[in-house]
Structure 1
Amino acid sequence: MMFETMREAMVESQLRPTGVNDPVVLAAIRAVPRERFVPPARTGLAYADTAIEIAPGRWLLEPLVTGLLLTHARIMPSDRVLVVGAGTGYAAAIIRHLSRHVTAVEENSGLVAAAQANGVDVVTGPLADGWAARAPYDLIFIDGAAAVLPSALLAQSADDGRLAAVIIGDDGVGRATVGRVAGGHFAGTGFFDTGAVALPGFGRAPKFIF
């Protein structure tokens, strides 16, 4: 009951006042117990407005960012959705309430096991490669941050498909962003600034200074 109360408080105090107002999205968020998707030692933070480390270098996005991305993505039941960087499976579990066709990909074996323990079907492979076997996708949902978007992943988008992610700009600031993919190129609009760490394979190559 404590977690149910905390979940409802998260919806009413964090999400609804800040633009997460689609009743279908809110119902999906209410249906997924977030405390099951964080490490046991951090369950007390499950509904706090903060990102949570779920593995070395891997983070569960703060609830507001996840909610905003899902709201702006406007997922339809018929959409084919690819969740990249499924982690422990939280976003994928919510999206399963919104779409009948969800593929979640993860490369960290510990996170794959955690997602499967939470009842989320996950395919295993490099995140930057996506999952071409079920392409094209109407929505590519990157459950984390990206400084670059791999061409192999963009090629799996349907024509004029959508992509949602925290995009890290040249200034190093992450912005929750939703946009369209056309001709292998992504164009989107950032609508919320947030700190985030790039997923493996989605960071910029280091620059060498001579």
Structure 2
Amino acid sequence: MATAERQFAEARRQMVLTQLRPNKVIDEQVIAAMAALPREQFVPKAYRGVAYMDEDVAIAPGRHLMEPMVLARLLQEAEIQPSEVALVIGAATGYEVAVLARLTSTVIGLEVDAALSQQAGQTLQALGIDNVALVDGALKDGLAKQGPFNVILFAGAVPEFSPAVLQQLADGGRLIGVLRAPGAPIGQTVLVKRAGDLFPHRVLFDAGTPMLPGFERPAGFVF
């Protein structure tokens, strides 16, 4: 193994030991997925040295990979099963898609930036991850034509979970993400579980996850 590969492998091990396990991540499937995936492959080369830091990592203007601990705890709360179908809203370079691909049977990644989507496809192919599909399109309304989904992950903070996206959950399906008011310094991670026509939710913990683009509320009319 080359020196750089050894360094990244050690960084992944330290991520598990110092970020995930001390912060209530106990799901061994989630831990194994994140311990196996080369997170550095999903960030620009100039940022690979900080790929495993305990914070969101910038990958393009206005776009980030989620902080490892936040992502791991969200996936843990979703209790993902091997036979399920998942949707990632804001697939970006594909890291969150790749993690989910190790936990369940099929993952669809929705991405508005065609360049990021192309990069994601190349990285996923290079890693031999073949149970995923990437779809180009606006993020705000999800992907109703491919639903329903057992799991929906927002890979970034949004001001609200729209009724249109909630309706894309299968009965018993779970939506996980971060709700953050525009301009607020911090948001809250939330788990929504569909029960028929009801969508009860549970607030989990605070997170400073950056906002996803395309969810801005229209400005009110000003005289």
- Shift >6 Å, 4+ stretches: none
Q: Does 1:100 align with 2:109?
A: no
Corresponding residue of 2:28: 23
Corresponding residue of 1:142: 154
For residues 42-121 of structure 1, the aligned pairs below 5 Å read 42-119=47-124, 121=133
- Per-residue deviation, 1:92: 0.7
Q: Please, which moves more after superposition, 130-139 or 97-106?
A: 130-139
Question: Is the contact made by 2:191 and 2:201 (CA closer than 8 Å) also made in structure 1?
Answer: yes
Aligned partner of 2:166: which letter? L
In the alignment, the residues of structure 2 paired with residue 15 and residue 23 of structure 1 have an alpha-carbon distance, to the nearest angstrom, of: 11
Question: Is the contact made by 1:145 and 1:166 (CA closer than 8 Å) also made in structure 2?
Answer: yes
Corresponding residue of 2:212: 199
Which of 114, 125, 137 is residue 137 of structure 2 equivalent to?
A: 125
Aligned partner of 1:137: which letter? F
TM-score (norm 2): 0.87
Q: Please, which moves more after superposition, 199-208 or 77-86?
A: 199-208
Say how many residue pairs are matched: 210
- Per-residue deviation, 1:170: 8.0
- Per-residue deviation, 1:29: 0.7
In the alignment, the residues of structure 2 paired with residue 115 and residue 98 of structure 1 have an alpha-carbon distance, to the nearest angstrom, of: 18
Aligned partner of 1:206: which letter? A
Matched residue of 1:202: which SS? Answer: coil
Cα 1:118–1:175 shift into 2, 3 Å: same
Q: Please, which moves more after superposition, 193-202 or 6-15?
A: 193-202
Matched residue of 2:209: which SS? Answer: coil
In the alignment, the residues of structure 2 paired with residue 180 and residue 169 of structure 1 have an alpha-carbon distance, to the nearest angstrom, of: 21
Q: Please, which moves more after superposition, 94-103 or 150-159?
A: 150-159
- Per-residue deviation, 1:209: 5.9
For residues 179-194 of structure 1, the aligned pairs below 5 Å read 179-182=192-195, 186-194=199-207
Unaligned 5+ residue runs, structure 1? none
Question: Is the contact made by 1:149 and 1:202 (CA closer than 8 Å) also made in structure 2?
Answer: no
- Per-residue deviation, 1:39: 1.2
In the alignment, the residues of structure 2 paired with residue 127 and residue 139 of structure 1 have an alpha-carbon distance, to the nearest angstrom, of: 16
Aligned partner of 2:60: which letter? A
Unaligned 5+ residue runs, structure 2? 1-5, 125-131
* Per-residue CA distance 1:155-181 (angstroms, 9 max, x = gap): 211123210001115882311221223
Aligned partner of 2:117: which letter? V
Q: CA RMSD in A?
A: 1.9
Cα 1:131–1:160 shift into 2, 3 Å: same
